[in-house]
Structure 1
Amino acid sequence: MAIRKLLGIQPGDRVVFYRAEDGRVVVKPENVDIRRLRGVLKHPGAPVTLEEMDEAIARGAAGPSAP
């Protein structure tokens, strides 16, 4: 039970075993709850608006020669 708690896994969770370059055997949880990933990817600056997204999509759809 202490190992599960240390790894943050619950009964029934899948784990991955692999051998590290230094020869150690590493055990990691296979599944990560998506909620734990919140905030991992940060965007510098202010969020873009829906209008800015639409403009970027339109430029991309127009092809590489569009201004």
Structure 2
Amino acid sequence: MPSATLRSRGRLTIPAQVRDSLGLKPGDRVHFFEMSDGQFAMIAAIHSVQSLKGMIRKPRVPVSVEDMNAAIAAQGADT
């Protein structure tokens, strides 16, 4: 299991095996998330939100804001 030592200024070198697995390069950011059991998970924040463009196709028929609001209101009334 890869491990690292925390330095006096709070710096931590991520082991090469972990960097390679996450696809990290110099300058990339990582995010830390606290799990329910008191442990932390680290994920690479290497993709921009723009990389999501095109994942969902546009609807064949455009939907108006008014129609969206009506659908939201109807769904909210059902719950």
Alignment TM-score, normalising by the size of structure 2 = 0.42
Q: Which has the higher contact order (CA 8 A, sep 6+)?
A: 1
